[in-house]
A and B are shown apart, each in its own frame.
Chain A
């Protein structure tokens, strides 16, 4: 059981735990952001470099620091390891550079993008990026590829995190899309235009950290912050059937998997639940889904007042983050 210290906080973790996982065990205040790593997808991570940290002490046996920043999602913890994340100005500066590179080719079309409001790249650039761009060249352009009736591909927004490729590899029986070409011209494509219609292909939408893969049935229907997330479930023979319904008025506009506090799907759901069941009658409603108070989705949402006689004065706490 190696003991690892991240930003001055020590935790004992099982052998083979990565620095990122250890940081998540400690808490949000030391966790580096991650754009390509996804806990439930094997071999994910190592592409985006936003989770870089400084290892100031390799281990008890070898107390030398690692000279360059390392990707925390791909580096295992060792006994006595000391890691610096937000306490290292060098790392904050380096991460700013990483964000700048990710945004170099990312279009500024958030006002149009359906992902806006729940986009990890928006959060990342807001929290870790600089507020101006130095990029003066034309951004990448692609030929439009139709992925079928359910998934909308916007290749210009892609940051090449490979999460959707891992979903297709690990969740569906065969993968029909992938990353073509290399370097600056690499792109997500089906090569020979075919519709992606596998039963679990819709999960590509949930794992996509940006708006490159979005729900075609939800396209331009509403901005996410005008919809109300509600937890619901149904008996489904293909998947767990536990979802979040996104309501506007009485209509279910969108069905997604439930997300945990790291923005990752708790359990993957099938296309039937996601695209076909958009009636309240199809679902057993559990109640409103919890949203962080700092998320734009919580804007203009009011939680129901509790009957004053039902709680004691001592129970009243200031607002807490969910």
Chain B
């Protein structure tokens, strides 16, 4: 009869030899493989005590950067929001008052800046659109929340603290890249 597929195999019903009938060599062979694994490098990590380093291209939670003097870089230009394919970013701008020069870098700043982390798809287009080096995606993970409202991150979470800077040098693009 013609085979239905090319991959079909004939089943042999060969009688086992004496050695094979003992089963012992096969068991020993199996134990040898198990033993070998004891001495191999472990593929797992003891999270959360040990954390795996992310790839430099990993895109996690956003950060709004400050400059060296601690002033906020974001000027609420809206380019991230218009670039965002998920429409996750909203903002409101305000004018910098006299005496606030140490807080904000430019004449205008974001009074409100919100990212809906449930809408965000972590594509990184906001980072690419930003003309002011203000928004970067980091290797931090967005925490779980009890409510949907909790995922709307405001400036209190997104802006980095003056004394606790987030390192983004790995994600910074070189000129011409």
Residue ranges of A at the interface with B (Cβ–Cβ < 8 Å): 109-112, 116, 219-223, 225-226, 296, 299-300
Q: How far is the CA of A77 from the CA of B93 in the complex (A)?
A: 49
Closest 4 CB pairs of A and B: A111-B77, A223-B78, A220-B93, A112-B108
Interface of A is mostly: loop
Contact check, A296 vs B82: say whether CB atoms are below 8 A apart.
Answer: yes
CA distance A225 to B76 in the complex (A): 13
| Chain B: interface residue total (CB-CB under 8 A) | 16
B100 on interface, CB distance cutoff 8 Å:
no
Number of interchain pairs (Cβ within 8 Å): 39
Interface string of B59-100 (1 = CB under 8 A from A): 000000000000000011111011000010000011100000
B82 close to A109 (CB less than 8 A): no
Known contacts A219-B95, A220-B95, A300-B87, A110 near B82 by CB under 8 Å: no
Return chain A residues, CB-CB under 8 Å to B82: 223, 225-226, 296, 299-300
A226 to chain B, nearest CB (A): 6
Q: Are A112 and B75 in contact (CB under 8 A)?
A: yes
CB distance from A86 to the nearest CB of B (A): 29
Determine if A225 and B93 form an interchain contact, defined as CB atoms under 8 angstroms apart.
no
Q: Write out the residue numbers on chain A whose beta carbons fall within 8 Å of the beta carbon of B95.
A: 219-220
Contacts of B75 in A (CB 8 A): 111-112
Query: Residue of B at shortest CB range from A116?
Result: B77
6 contacts between A and B (CB under 8 A): A109-B107, A112-B77, A220-B76, A220-B93, A222-B78, A225-B78
Nearest residue, chain B, Cβ from A223: B78
Q: A220-B93, A220-B94 are in contact. Are A109 and B81 (CB under 8 A)?
A: no
Whether, in the assembled complex, B131 has its beta carbon less than 8 Å from a beta carbon of chain A, the answer is yes
Chain A residue contacts of B131, Cβ below 8 A: 110-111
Q: Which residue of A lies closest to B84 (CB)?
A: A300
Indicate if B132 sits at the interface (CB-CB under 8 A). Answer: yes
Q: Is B114 engaged at the interface, CB distance under 8 Å to the other chain? A: no
Cβ contact within 8 Å between A111 and B87: no
- A183 and B101 alpha carbons, distance in the complex (Å): 33
Output the residue of A223, A296, A299 with the most chain B CB within 10 A. Answer: A223
> Which one of A112, A222, A226 has the greatest number of beta carbons of chain B within 10 Å?
A112
Expressed in whole angstroms, the minimum distance between the Cβ of B175 and any Cβ of chain A is 11
By a CB distance below 8 angstroms, the chain A residues around B106 are 109, 111-112
Q: Report B-chain residues with C-beta under 8 Å of the C-beta of A111.
A: 75, 77, 79, 106, 108, 131-132
Bound complex: CA A219 to CA B78 (Å): 14
Apart from A110-B77, A111-B106, A226-B82: 4 A-B pairs, beta carbons within 8 A: A220-B76, A220-B93, A221-B93, A222-B93
Question: Nearest residue in A to B111 (C-beta to C-beta)?
Answer: A220
Residues of B within 8 A of A226 (CB): 78, 81-82
- The answer to whether A223 and B87 have CB atoms under 8 Å apart is no
Measured between beta carbons, the chain B residues less than 8 angstroms from A222 are 78, 93
Q: Which residue of B lies closest to A296 (CB)?
A: B82
Q: Tell me if B77 and A223 are in contact (CB < 8 A).
A: yes
Residue of A nearest to B106 (CB): A112
Interface set, chain B 115-139, CB cutoff 8 A to A: 131-132
Give the Cβ gap from A122 to chain B, nearest Cβ, in Å. Answer: 13
State A301–B147 Cα separation when bound (angstroms).
30
| Complex Cα–Cα for A111 and B95 (A) | 13
**Chain B residue at smallest Cβ distance from A297:** B82
